[in-house]
Amino acid sequence: MRINYHAMNFVDTRFGRIEGIHYDPLYSNRRTDGCDVTKKTVLSTPYGDLIPQYETEDIGRRARKPVYFFKNRNLKSLPIQQQTVIKTAVGDIPAELVTFYESGHIKRIFPLDGKLSGFWSWKNEMELAEPTTIDTPGGPVTAKLLGIQFYENSSLKSLTLWPNEEAEIETPYGCIAFRKGAAFYENGNLRSIEPLKKTDIPTPVGTITAFDNEPNGIHGDINSLQFDPDGLVSALSTIDNEIAVGFPSGSTQLFKPGSKNNVCGDERKVSVPMKVRFDKNTVIFNEGTPFSIESCSFDIRKHTLNTGMPAYACSA
C-alpha cells in the first residue's frame, strides 16, 4: 500500500517526527517536497535539539519558511524557529537555517536567514550578525559569517564572510588577511582565499602581486588566490603586474591587466585584473594559450595605470 504523505499532518524523519505540517505544491518538484510547519516540534539531532520554524516572531523573519525533504523523506533544508547553536567539528555555530546531505550530515549552515525586502535590507541583517570563531585547518578564524559549507564527511569546505568583514588565515605562504571567504580541500588543505589587500605571492615564474579589485560571486566557495592540493599556488589575479613572455625564437609577448569604464561614467577608469593560472608546468594568462615554464622566460614588471577602485554608488 502506498502512503499518501501529502494527506498526513506529520512526517517522520531520522531525527524525529515533525507535526502540524501542510504541503504546498509551490514547494515541490521532482527532487524535493516542501511543507509549512504550524506546530512546535523538537528534533533530536547529533548537532543539538532543533525546532523547525512554525511561526513568525519579528520583522526580519516575517514569512514562515518551508521545510524541504528529499524524496526519501530525509531532511534537505530546515529553517529553525530561533537562532540555535549547532555543534560541528569546527566549533559551535549559531544557525537560523541548516541544509543537509541525503545521508543526514550537515551541508550548509546560515547563522541568519532573514527575508530581505524594501523594509529589511542586507545591512539590517548584517547588524544582527555576531562574530563567530571557526577552527579552520589554517587556524581559528573569527568574523561575522554569512554561511559555512561542509563536505559530507563533516570537514570544512568553505566559509563566507559578510561584506566588509575581514579575517586572517595561515596559508602555505604565511598568514594572509582575506575577505569574502576561504575554501578548503576535503583533506583540510587550503583551496582558495580572496586577499584583502595586495599581497606578494611566489609563483613558478616569479613573485606576483595578487589582488582582485572586483572579485566575482557572493560566496566564498571560489576565490581568486588558489592553491593546488600540495599547497602550491595554482591561480591568482593581479592589477599590479604585467608579464613579458620570451620565446626560444627571441620574440616576446606582453600580457597585462586591462581597464574599463566605471559604472558611474566613462570619466573614471577601473582596472580589469589579469588572471594567471599554473597547470602541469605551464602558465596561462586570461584562460588563453598555455606557455611552457621550462621553454619560455618571464619578465614580471610593475604595471602602472591611472585607475581607481570600482564604485557602486554614484553621487548626484
Q: What is the distance of C-alpha 124 from the center of its chain?
A: 20
Determine the Cα–Cα distance for residues 212 and 274; give it in Å rounded to an integer: 9
Mention every residue, 6+ apart, whose C-beta is less than 8 A from residue 281.
Answer: 204, 292, 293, 294
Determine the Cα–Cα distance for residues 42 and 18; give it in Å rounded to an integer: 8
Confidence of residue 57 (pLDDT cuts 50, 70, 90): low
Helix (H, G, I), strand (E, B) or coil at 5: helix
Is pLDDT above 50 for 2?
Answer: no
Following CA atoms 147, 107, 169, 275 in sequence, which dihedral angle do they give, to the nearest 10 degrees? -80
- Residues belonging to the chain: 316
pLDDT one-digit tens code per residue, 123-164: 666 677 799 999 999 999 999 999 999 999 999 999 999 988
- Is the CB of residue 80 less than 8 Å from the CB of residue 98? yes
Determine the Cα–Cα distance for residues 102 and 107; give it in Å rounded to an integer: 9
Q: How do the domains of the chain map onto residue ranges?
A: 1-130, 165-316
| Amino acid in the structure at residue 168 | E
Of 162, 93, 169, 104, the C-alpha closest to 129 is: 162
pLDDT one-digit tens code per residue, 248-298: 999 999 999 998 887 665 667 888 999 999 999 999 999 999 999 999 999
Is pLDDT above 60 for 76?
Answer: yes
Greatest Cα pair distance, the chain, in angstroms, is: 79
Instruction: Provide the H-helix boundaries in 118-245.
Output: 122-128
The predicted model scores a pTM of 0.87
Phi, psi at residue 124, to the nearest 5°?
Answer: -60, -40
Mention every residue, 6+ apart, whose C-beta is less than 8 A from residue 239.
Answer: 211, 212, 213, 257, 271, 272, 273, 274, 303, 305, 307
- Is the CB of residue 93 less than 8 Å from the CB of residue 81? no
Determine the Cα–Cα distance for residues 188 and 135; give it in Å rounded to an integer: 11
Write down the residue that cell numbers 584583502 correspond to: 196
Q: What is the pLDDT of residue 293?
A: 97
